[in-house]
Chain A
Amino acid sequence: MRPTDALLGSYRPGTSPWHRVGVGWKYLAVLVLTLPALFVQEPWVTASALALTVGCLLLTGLPARVTLALSWGLLVLLAVLAAFQVLIGQPALAFVVPGNVLLAVLAARLIIVTTRPAVLIDALVSAADRVPFVDGERFGLSVGVMLRSIPYLMGAFYDVRDAARARGLERHWIARLTPVVVRAVGFAQATGDALAARGLGERSSDR
């Protein structure tokens, strides 16, 4: 897995049942996998949901290094969440809270690695169009652009980290974060221009 895809992954073509099933069923499956753990907040429920989700990811037929890879950033976040629960005197939640975050990431990955973004956007547009006062096209496009932006921003983070290392500034957080923020703003501007140049994202009434 590319480091830039290490959070939610990206679509990988395949012929597994997960690739062939309709995207609506995938959303339903993700809800079934995640909601009980989020509501019940018991270690055994979280552990069971995680095991089921990992099983589903293995059924995609994609390499485990693609579907189950966890970035250092995510592992640190999970560790911080666990430590925080211990510190506030809720050791029982030290597994549940980070476990549920991991569950949400893996479940989202189940949809993203098996569904082409165009299909994902179609499904979102179709659902959002039923909501009053919501422009489904713009909503779907926003989510699509957001999914594309995550690997770009992670790539920017790794580039800037390497550049900082090359100058001996690896411990200098301002040198590492400022260029990422600047790049993020530049990327947002460029993406907006790219969409506008193709007439995408305009209100339906303008088209």
Chain B
Amino acid sequence: MIALHGVTVAVPALTPPGTKTLLDGVSIDLAEHRIALIGANGSGKSTLLRLLNGLIVPTQGRVDVEGHDTRRDAAAVRRLVGFTFTDPLSQLVLPTPLDDVELSLRSRVRDREARQAQARAWLARYGLADVAERSIYDLSGGERQLAALVSVLAVQPSVLVCDEPTTLLDLRNRNLVAQVLADLPHQVIIATHDLELAAQSERVIVIDAGRVVADGDPETAIAAYRALLA
């Protein structure tokens, strides 16, 4: 389970008072299998997600991932929590899906042949066998997003955190990625503006100005969000 204890994140700002608070005293437990974070642009969703993987650490408070403090034990946290970014081109650091998935496998599989075979198997599992050696620039948006997802899944995390996984996709690719996420056995925590995707979660958390302003079943939380932005 992931637990945030009184988490505040503040960053330096050029205007008075000299700091900007991105998250303000957030305390929540994240135990459900499917959780969605929704909120306006700049509300603090992505900041909260980045805390879960240890990409950023709280200014105050603590984030525990299965008993590991993200500040003290970042390497263990990153093994447990996979993270996909909004733009897969920022995430895919090598030129083809096959190379990128192999990169994820490097620390666990030293033999090159075995590593390549495993990478191909991972890509085939998600329907990417035919594009394994294609340049990431030649993939469709959905294929890119899936390739980025597979690169993270190959690390075998127990939790998957996705920052706006459908934002850059057309309807067909959005449905494809949503279905893949729905079928994963992992705990999946997403930040999204896609309310239809959020509605498929067990729990929806609404963030506004760095605070949790609604938290509950999708119907109630999404209604609260609509009311907030009305």
Q: Which residues of A contact B93 (CB under 8 A)?
A: 144-145, 148, 191, 194-195, 200
Shortest CB-to-CB span from A49 to chain B, Å, is 28
Selected from A117, A187, A195, A206, the residue in CB contact (under 8 A) with B96 is A117
Map CB proximity to A onto B88-109 as digits: 1 under 8 Å, 0 otherwise: 0111111110110011101100
Map CB proximity to B onto A1-42 as digits: 1 under 8 Å, 0 otherwise: 010100000110100000000000000000000000000000
- Cβ-based interface call for A162 (8 A): no
**Chain B residues within CB distance 8 Å of chain A:** 53, 55, 75, 78-79, 82-83, 85, 87, 89-96, 98-99, 102-104, 106-107, 112, 115-116, 133, 135, 137, 151-152, 155
Q: Which residues of A contact B55 (CB under 8 A)?
A: 193, 196-197
Selected from A4, A119, A137, A193, the residue in CB contact (under 8 A) with B106 is A137
Map CB proximity to B onto A175-207 as digits: 1 under 8 Å, 0 otherwise: 000000000000100110111111110100011
Q: Given contacts A118-B103, A118-B116, A190-B85, are A196 and B78 in contact (CB under 8 A)?
A: yes
Selected from A13, A141, A199, the residue in CB contact (under 8 A) with B78 is A199
Q: Given contacts A118-B102, A119-B112, A207-B107, are A198 and B82 in contact (CB under 8 A)?
A: yes
Q: Given contacts A118-B112, A207-B107, are A198 and B95 in contact (CB under 8 A)?
A: no
Bin chain A's interface residue count.
Answer: 20 to 34
> Which of B82, B87, B98, B106 lies at the interface centre, i.e. has the most chain A CB atoms within 10 A of its CB?
B106
Nearest B-chain residue to A199, judged by Cβ: B78
Task: Return 14 A-B CB contacts under 8 Å, by A number.
Answer: A2-B135, A13-B133, A122-B112, A144-B103, A187-B90, A193-B85, A194-B85, A197-B53, A197-B55, A197-B85, A198-B151, A200-B93, A202-B75, A206-B75
Shortest CB-to-CB span from A144 to chain B, Å, is 6
Q: Are A194 and B98 in contact (CB under 8 A)?
A: no
Q: Are B90 and A191 in contact (CB under 8 A)?
A: yes
For chain A residues 96-123, which have a beta carbon within 8 Å of chain B?
Answer: 116-119, 121-122
- Cβ-based interface call for A147 (8 A): yes
Q: Are B98 and A197 in contact (CB under 8 A)?
A: no
Shortest CB-to-CB span from B141 to chain A, Å, is 16
Q: Given contacts A144-B93, A187-B90, A193-B85, are A198 and B152 in contact (CB under 8 A)?
A: yes
3 smallest beta-carbon distances between A and B, as pairs: A190-B90, A197-B83, A199-B78
Q: Which residues of A contact B87 (CB under 8 A)?
A: 190
Apart from the given pairs A117-B95, A118-B103, A145-B93, 7 other A-B contacts in the complex at a CB distance below 8 Å:
A4-B137, A11-B133, A118-B94, A118-B99, A197-B91, A198-B78, A198-B155
Nearest B-chain residue to A145, judged by Cβ: B93
Q: Are A207 and B137 in contact (CB under 8 A)?
A: no
Shortest CB-to-CB span from B87 to chain A, Å, is 8
Q: Bound state CA distance, A141 and B89, in angstroms?
A: 17
Q: Bound state CA distance, A9 and B82, in angstroms?
A: 31
Q: Are A151 and B137 in contact (CB under 8 A)?
A: yes
Q: Given contacts A2-B137, A194-B85, A198-B104, are A207 and B94 in contact (CB under 8 A)?
A: no
Q: Bound state CA distance, A85 and B137, in angstroms?
A: 39
Nearest A-chain residue to B112, judged by Cβ: A122
Q: Bound state CA distance, A119 and B116, in angstroms?
A: 10
Q: Given contacts A119-B112, A137-B106, are A144 and B78 in contact (CB under 8 A)?
A: no
Shortest CB-to-CB span from A24 to chain B, Å, is 13
Map CB proximity to B onto A134-163 as digits: 1 under 8 Å, 0 otherwise: 000100010011011001100100000000
Nearest A-chain residue to B134, judged by Cβ: A13
Shortest CB-to-CB span from A155 to chain B, Å, is 8
Shortest CB-to-CB span from B170 to chain A, Å, is 21
> Which of A10, A152, A155, A198 lies at the interface centre, i.e. has the most chain B CB atoms within 10 A of its CB?
A198
